[in-house]
Chains A and B, each alone.
Chain A
Amino acid sequence: MGSQAPLIHARGLVKRFGDLTAVAGIDFEVGRGESFGFLGPNGAGKSSTMRMIGCVSPRTGGELSVLGLDPDHDGPAIRARLGVVPQQDTLDMELTVRENIVIYGRYFGLSRRELKARADRLLEFVQLDERAGSRVEPLSGGMKRRLTIARALVNEPELLLLDEPTTGLDPQARHALWDRLVRLKQQGTTLVLTTHYMDEAEQLCDRLVIMDRGTIAEEGSPAELIRRLSTREVVELRFAGEPPAIEESTFNGAVARVEALPDRVLLYTDDGDALVPVAHERLHPQSVLVRRSTLEDVFLRLTGRMLVD
């Protein structure tokens, strides 16, 4: 970030819908060129936050500035410089792929001539150039999502907001999409995204906040969060019947923490392989798996729940 003013600045940001508090006073900053994520389960308040940043939802309280401007007063000026990929697609299914981009570009006041060139370029970028003339309706979910991203780039935004860009897509489509987003990031576009996939957050985010029930639980880079809030490795034990009661003390200090989930028990340790024989001997699990810690483990530690349930 350096001396540059942040692109987004929020202090004590609150959003209420009647009695329900969707965002309960959060603080964060996003710097230029950064790729910033909101990771959290359903209902955490991610979309509510994104919609406030996108100036389509007035804040209930707190401070918020986007591109140095106040969404309450400068909504249109801010939105002119944003690209928005909403959680739910807003494509017109009856119009063609190209028309969707051109019409959207017209909302920004771009000329048709300019838009023709931009549409070609963007459709190539998201690898939809061959479908330019086809209606949107029959496209696959992944293609529609890529079209939404292409459309969001039509005004050459400084800041791209992506609300769950890959939810509901198959792994292949997700990777294709990540690839495009990484490219954008390399080109210097600031990305703000929400996700409830930890692998997505790890792939795309330089820095992220973990959100739960309208509040921010932690903040940091994915690696840093894992380092700070989890152990290096995790041993997952599955049992044929009821799992035995397991305590940290069973392992003489080799296990930092034990999490008992409905279907498995997680042992947090810095050396998983060393723990496997011990676990076999003392607990007789049906299966044992050693893996690296992920953001999912961080989330579990912070909230006692899993991200995706």
Chain B
Amino acid sequence: MTYAFRAYEYWLASYRRVWRGTIFSTILNPVLYLSALGVGLGKLVNRGHQLGVPYLHYVAPGILASTAMLIAAFESAWPVMGAIRWTRQFHAMLATPLRVRDVLLGHQLYALTRVGIASAIYLVVIAAFGAIHSWLAVFAFPAALLLGWSFSAPIAGLSGWLNREEGFNALFRFGVTPMFLFSGTFFPVSRLPQGIREIAYATPTWHGVDLLRGLTLGTASLLPSLGHVAYLAAWVGGGLWWARRTLTRRLVS
């Protein structure tokens, strides 16, 4: 693990050059989203009273989840391929005592750091908008990390596997963006037509959103929540296993 922290330091050093810009948008984005969707769009949506809570309160954990997912997906895509091909920093690391697993974990720690910073800010903003109903919301932070990890791990695997960065366009167009829109983030999955609905239920995003929503609204019950956690953890485990394989093939051949 100490080896992984050495790799993590590299990512922190390169993040240090750009963090100011990202912090600004990380604070601004939730404020904008919650104002536009929660308050603005919410005025229309709330008329139906079908959600049981104000739309702002409903959508806030969805926005948190999609942000965790997007940051994690992004950080495991281009930066990982870059460390293989462009900066070749993974090759530099592997010429030292670091091993593939250290290189992988060091980067995952960094991706989760990015997810963690954004999630913490979002939670504060969500609380400021009055959208937190329960002390259970303290668990929303680790839950957001877990959701992020369920993306960052397998996408690191994909980055090791892909031969060209064009593959990421497909990933985001046909994978991440639909999940962002249709996995219970902005409206209940039950509104989706049958067939599509089942797909939505299978996405890690839906499990993350449902978990987070239960925690911020205080409606979570133990077993389903543990189920979500187990499902997301399975993506993490499978993703790490695959990533180690693809990165080994790519870097140590």
Binding site for B on A (CB under 8 A): 17, 54, 56-58, 75-77, 79-80, 82, 84, 86, 88-95, 99, 103-104, 106-109, 155
From B3, B9, B91, give the contact of A90 (CB < 8 A): B91
In the bound complex, residues from chain B placing their C-beta under 8 Å from that of A79 are 95-97
User: Contacts A104-B92, A109-B2 known; A92 to B98 CB distance under 8 Å?
Assistant: no
Give bound CA distance, A88 to B95, whole Å.
13
Tell me how far the C-beta of B163 lies from the nearest C-beta in chain A, rounded to whole angstroms: 16
In the bound complex, residues from chain A placing their C-beta under 8 Å from that of B88 are 88-90
In the bound complex, residues from chain A placing their C-beta under 8 Å from that of B253 are 17, 57
Interface residues of B, dominant DSSP? helix
Give bound CA distance, A104 to B88, whole Å.
13
In the bound complex, residues from chain B placing their C-beta under 8 Å from that of A89 are 88
Interface centre among A79, A89, A92, A99 (most CB of B within 10 A): A92
Whether the pair B95, A54 counts as a contact (CB closer than 8 A) is yes
- Which B72-103 residues sit within 8 Å CB-CB of chain A? 87-89, 91-99
Whether the pair B97, A76 counts as a contact (CB closer than 8 A) is yes
Whether the pair A104, B96 counts as a contact (CB closer than 8 A) is yes
Whether the pair A58, B96 counts as a contact (CB closer than 8 A) is no
Give bound CA distance, A84 to B95, whole Å.
7
Tell me how far the C-beta of B103 lies from the nearest C-beta in chain A, rounded to whole angstroms: 10
Interface centre among B89, B93, B251 (most CB of A within 10 A): B89
Whether the pair A107, B6 counts as a contact (CB closer than 8 A) is yes
Tell me how far the C-beta of B178 lies from the nearest C-beta in chain A, rounded to whole angstroms: 33
Give bound CA distance, A91 to B94, whole Å.
13
Give bound CA distance, A92 to B97, whole Å.
19
Give bound CA distance, A176 to B99, whole Å.
34
Whether the pair B96, A107 counts as a contact (CB closer than 8 A) is yes
Whether the pair B251, A56 counts as a contact (CB closer than 8 A) is yes
B33 at interface, CB cutoff 8 A: no
Whether the pair B92, A80 counts as a contact (CB closer than 8 A) is no
Give bound CA distance, A103 to B89, whole Å.
11
